[in-house]
Amino acid sequence: MHLNTKIREGSFELTSCSRRLQRWCVALASCITLAAQAQTGPGASNVQELQVQLWAASCMACHGPQGRAEGTGLTIGGRDANELLGRLLAYKLGQRPSTIMSQHAKGYSDDELASIAAYFASLK
Ligand code: HEC
């Protein structure tokens, strides 16, 4: 935080410089603040968690809110993580018949699929 303050103080000294430079300094200061928050803010792994939630949100378009597409047979929320991951990997390798899922699964690394499977499993 005090890094940000220092940079902001620095930009006050730049009164003789162009406004463009000042604006750049302010933008840089807020970037540094954001980066600092991403690393040290509440829950350091937040960025990673948000990434997984973002991926999962795209799955929910078809698999329902919280992965619970009631009545369609596509519910994935609250199911066993290993079972979900097994299916996702099988889709990725083309070992499980699918209309759309093999294409989705191919877009993620195995580790990413494991994180997504764990996330849906956690939605009890
Ligand atoms: C465009 C709609 C759509 C999206 C988006 C989608 N799925 Fe699917 N999903 C399906 C369909 C349809 C099936 C049935 C297999 C098939 O036809 O591909 C399926 C099957 C599955 C299955 C197997 C379910 C079972 O009981 O056998 C899992 C697990 C799964 N999807 C996970 C995901 C995950 C994780 C994502 C996001 C990365 C995702 N899906 C995104 C439509 C979708």
In the numeric block, which tokens belong to residue 38?
A: 């991403």
Whether CATH 1.10.760.10 fits 46-122: yes
Hey, is 52 helix, strand or coil? helix
Pocket flag, ligand 1, residue 87 (CB < 6 Å) = yes
Q: For the chain, what is the radius of gyration of the CA atoms?
A: 22
Can you say how many angstroms the Cα of residue 102 is from the centroid of all Cα atoms in its chain?
21
Taking the domains of the chain in order of start, what are their residue ranges? 2-40, 46-122
CB 63 within 8 A of CB 74: yes
Question: Residue with the nearest Cα to atom 40 of ligand 1?
Answer: 59
Q: What is the pLDDT of residue 22?
A: 57
Q: How does pLDDT run across 54-109, given as a tens digit for each residue?
A: 999 999 999 999 999 988 989 999 999 999 999 999 999 999 999 999 999 999 99
Residue 73 or residue 3, greater confidence: 73
Q: How does pLDDT run across 5-17, given as a tens digit for each residue?
A: 444 554 444 444 4
> How far is Cα 118 from Cα 79, in angstroms, rounded to an integer?
9
Q: Which atom of ligand 1 is nearest to the CA of 101?
A: 18
pLDDT at 117 > cutoff 90: yes
